[in-house]
Structure 1
Amino acid sequence: MDASTLEQRIVRYGDLVPCRTAFIDAHTPGSNQKENFTIIGAGVSESPDQYVHIRETPGFNIGAAGQPPRCTNSLHTHRTAEVFFVHSGRWRFFWGEHGTDGEFIAEPGDLFNIPTGIFRGFENIGDDYGMLMAVLGGDDAGGGVIWAPHVIEAAREHGLVLAENGKLYDSKKGEQLPEGIKPMPLLTPEELKQFPVVHENAVIPDYVARYRDIEALARQAPLRVLGADGWLKDKPGFEIDFLQRGQVGLGDAYRTDRHEILMVHRGHWRVTVDGVSATLAPGDTCAVPPGSERVIEPTMSGETALFLVRNTDDPAGPTHVD
């Protein structure tokens, strides 16, 4: 691997290309200022305007949501895992068909493995633009997004119609559903009853990892934050480790037959792949291919933090381990 090839496998935070028409709530007041980013894999965008930085999927997708203060991402669900960590900002997560089943406040560095099969939304409640980084299970991210019925109805009032083929049509641009294509049907009351009601006391202990707790537990060695043998026990087709300066073995060369995605949260890091090095800054993402020799090490003193996402042999899906 040469330097240019390695650089092609790095998505710089400052180079992220946003899409403001990615989903059905793009015109709905309160949600119409959000920006969506597809970093690795095709993601779940409903818009052809979505830019994809790295199309290769390692068994999961990496995306991000950027939102100004008081901007909300509407209630939806996925068929596979959705795991967030807060890169910046202060966020309120809420869930349930109407967002009333539970909520919690997430700070920078917090990780949330949202239970599969529940409607979820999130709002930037901080004072500045905030960024959430997301890992979605599966190469095709489970076949798209399932929206709460009231979200689809509100979108229609503001000119956006989601078709049964999963594509958005914008009447403000003069677009109409093609002949023979029907609108996406709303979930029926009977179908909605199949979605579980999950309250806060069942979510916080088993699905949330607070950044300060992660730091404390990972002082001596890399910490498996999420995985079959992780702090948060799950098998969604990937696992997530946390790296920081001072850990035993950090900076040693190793090989693996797995895809590894490096997502920098704090500090600057050097990644060396088959003898070629590059420096990663906060918000940068690097896709390290299987079989290559790699060295991962911080390049500065002070606070450093990096989330490493690795594919596993587990099928993507609702596979939470109790």
Structure 2
Amino acid sequence: MDLSANIVRYGELRPCKTAFIDAHTPGSDQKENFTIIGGGVSESPDQHVHISVPHGFNIGAAGQPPHCRNSLHDHHTAEAFFVLSGRWRFFWGRWGTAGEVVLEPGDIFNIPTGIFRGFENIGTDYGMIMAILGGDDAGGGVMWAPQVIEEAADHGLVLGENGKLYDTKKQQRLPEGVAPMPLMTEEELAKRPEPTTAEVLPNHVARYWDMVALADRAPCKVIGATGLLKDRPGFEVDFITRASASATQSASGQPSVLMPVKGHWRVDWTEGHAILAPGDTMSVPAGLAHSATPSMTGEAALYRITATEDAAGPTWKG
């Protein structure tokens, strides 16, 4: 079986610099958005989708130079990030001041639904974070904090209620019958929680070196009903290291995705193999027996995302 079409190489990722409403806003205008698997939540027709086959979840990425930030937003379904490179500050709340956490390479953050969140590269070089969004339609788009929409309009970008962007600098206007995206009311905003850092970290952030220690004999369940970060958002996330990798081939009844974060990995299946490097993404079809093992000496870690039969929705409170 030829699976070359199922692999997206880091060096072949095609960015979109006009994906979201803050694409012209100073401080956010150098972002690059990548839609790797699934339709994603981009508001721009310029967004390239690398693999459009439904998986039950979406895989994307954000690349940003130092001091560039992604504006405050929310989704109806789960949003989880792991850091591929760089040093990142995540912040949340109505004004982005309720709490914050700094993540290093390999760390993962399963962000609670129902709160505005943003992030910025606070490192010294271009950085990349990989994203997992629940559901095939990723929850129907993005909800922006009101001030983000207002500031974007000052710089020429208007978001229609149809979820599409219109650039007034290019003489684009809202089509007849399409109104601007309405701002959330003060009543709606007042219902949103403002969790502190101390409230969020224990149940939503897992550190790379903690997971390395926990994956010394078997893959570490990171996101799942029994995971470190207990959630059932329509997918599960496992963390695998050299110590917990197995050459025994096995299959899942659901689609899965392999995403190395450290080292090179060899993926074998009956009729072929592939070598994956950090930043590469491989879609594994449901029912395909395969194995993933480090192909070189040295540090090696990989995230595996697998669809589940749980409905994609708000962060699980079970």
Report the TM-score when normalising by structure 2.
Answer: 0.99
2:223 to 223, 226, 250: 226
Identical positions, percent = 64
Give the whole-Å Cα distance in 2 for the aligned partners of 1:256 and 1:185: 42
Contact kept in structure 2, 1:255 and 1:293, CA below 8 Å:
yes
- The answer to whether structure 1 residue 269 and structure 2 residue 262 are counterparts is no
SS at match of 1:56: coil
Residue 319 of structure 1: CA displacement?
3.6
Structure 1 letter corresponding to 2:69? T
1:135 to 132, 143, 150: 132
Structure 2 letter corresponding to 1:126? G
CA separation of 1:319 and 1:70: change in aligned 2, threshold 3 A = closer
SS at match of 1:156: helix
Residue 296 of structure 1: CA displacement?
1.1
SS at match of 1:253: strand
Unpaired segments ≥5 residues, structure 2: none
Report the TM-score when normalising by structure 1.
Answer: 0.97
Unpaired segments ≥5 residues, structure 1: none
Q: Residue 11 of structure 1 corresponds to which residue in structure 2?
A: 8
CA separation of 1:319 and 1:91: change in aligned 2, threshold 3 A = closer
1:182 to 172, 179, 195: 179
Give the whole-Å Cα distance in 2 for the aligned partners of 1:19 and 1:234: 30
Q: Residue 146 of structure 1 corresponds to which residue in structure 2?
A: 143
SS at match of 1:184: coil
SS at match of 2:139: helix
Q: Residue 241 of structure 1 corresponds to which residue in structure 2?
A: 238
Give the whole-Å Cα distance in 1 for the aligned partners of 2:27 and 2:66: 10
SS at match of 2:45: coil
Q: Which runs of 4+ in 1 moved over 4 A?
A: none
SS at match of 2:35: strand
Give the whole-Å Cα distance in 2 for the aligned partners of 1:7 and 1:99: 41
Give the whole-Å Cα distance in 2 for the aligned partners of 1:179 and 1:313: 41
Q: Residue 37 of structure 2 corresponds to which residue in structure 1?
A: 40
Q: Residue 118 of structure 2 corresponds to which residue in structure 1?
A: 121
Structure 1 letter corresponding to 2:217? Q
Give the whole-Å Cα distance in 1 for the aligned partners of 2:12 and 2:272: 22
Structure 2 letter corresponding to 1:211? Y
Contact kept in structure 2, 1:35 and 1:67, CA below 8 Å:
yes
Contact kept in structure 2, 1:91 and 1:123, CA below 8 Å:
yes
Q: Residue 81 of structure 2 corresponds to which residue in structure 1?
A: 84
Give the whole-Å Cα distance in 2 for the aligned partners of 1:83 and 1:71: 19
Cα-Cα RMSD: 0.9
Give the whole-Å Cα distance in 2 for the aligned partners of 1:321 and 1:265: 29
* 1:270-300 per-position Cα deviation (integer Å, ceiling 9, x unaligned): 1123321011111100000011111111101
Structure 1 letter corresponding to 2:296? M
Give the whole-Å Cα distance in 1 for the aligned partners of 2:315 and 2:146: 26
